[in-house]
Structure 1
Amino acid sequence: MSDVSLVVNGRKVSGSVEDRTLLVHFLREHLGLTGTHVGCDTSQCGACVVHVDGKAVKSCTMLAAQASGSEVVTIEGLANGAELHPVQAAFKEHHGLQCGFCTPGMIMSATDMIRRHPEGLDEATVRAELEGNICRCTGYHNIVKAVLAASKTMSKGKGKAKAA
């Protein structure tokens, strides 16, 4: 067993978990944060992306014990109260989702991508960087439009990226 202590969505949490417990399972089963989805358990689909110490991480490839001492932000912690994060708002406005299964991971990956490219993004970069996130519904067209719109909004300072 491993003792895990971390900050999740601004709240200190701790627990004792089996050594093999993945971060995604700790978030979902121990903390009830079910917005982080389990799609493949093999790091192929990106549905489980969260931010660990400000960087996008596939939480199905990280042990909960490895995250101990870190700050984790999940899709539930991205918004500022009732106000959607600019990336969430862009996905809604530009119809960047259908079934919604991949959406949390897409949004978390896009938020990190925009943080790393504060000057803005182009379509080729968005498509290349979203390769690790699989959507089985939309064909990516509206997802790419949403990420580009959020990038434009955030680079103009209209939306503030939450430090994650």
Structure 2
Amino acid sequence: MAVSFVLNGEPVSLDVDPEMPLLWAVREFAGLTGTKFGCGAAQCGACTVHLEGQPVRSCSTPVSSVEGQSVTTIEGISGKAAAAVQAAWQRIEVPQCGYCQSGQIMSAVALLEQTPKPTDDDINSAMSGNICRCATYVRIRSAIHAAATTMEG
């Protein structure tokens, strides 16, 4: 069955099992490998993408549920918040192993698009579903605050 949606601003139609997780459709059929498989149970956040601008776990989202909607992966992220987050991530040297970082960035961008001046509690809440096995949480929080400051001007 073909499932049609907008992927990183471009219309796509993928001939896949409608129950296939969005993660595998994006990685294996669309060839975008920036979104990572972590736990497969929507608990770690490595597979985070934006669905209509909201962060979702693509490992537990059936591809059929995105029919006609807009999906953004780490490869397609753009805008003021994305630029500020990516610059802060580099400046503060957030990644250690880097495996979880695409999901971390996707969650951070969604947070800043909705809450431009987040508190530590806002950050903790928005990022609580993203696990970093290298424990770079302090740098992640610092980078989100730095990105927010950059966005303020």
- Residues 84-136 of structure 1 show CA distances to partners (whole Å, capped at 9, x for unaligned) of 72211111111111111110000000111111113x01223212321100001
Correspondence for 2:77:
78
Correspondence for 2:122:
125
User: Tell me, which stretches of 5 or more residues in structure 1 are unaligned?
Assistant: 159-164
Q: CA RMSD in A?
A: 1.4
Correspondence for 1:101:
99
Partners of 1:21 and 1:128 in 2: CA distance: 29
**TM-score normalised by length of structure 2:** 0.93
- Residues 36-82 of structure 1 show CA distances to partners (whole Å, capped at 9, x for unaligned) of 000011001000000111111111111111111011111001147xx
Sequence identity percentage: 41
The yes-or-no answer on 1:142 pairing with 2:139 is: yes
- Residues 10-51 of structure 1 show CA distances to partners (whole Å, capped at 9, x for unaligned) of 111102111321100000000110000000110010000001
**Contact kept in structure 2, 1:47 and 1:104, CA below 8 Å:** yes
Partners of 1:123 and 1:56 in 2: CA distance: 19
Correspondence for 1:29:
28
**TM-score normalised by length of structure 1:** 0.87
**Contact kept in structure 2, 1:87 and 1:150, CA below 8 Å:** yes
Count the aligned residue pairs. Answer: 151
User: Tell me, which stretches of 5 or more residues in structure 2 are unaligned?
Assistant: none
Correspondence for 2:58:
59
Correspondence for 1:43:
42
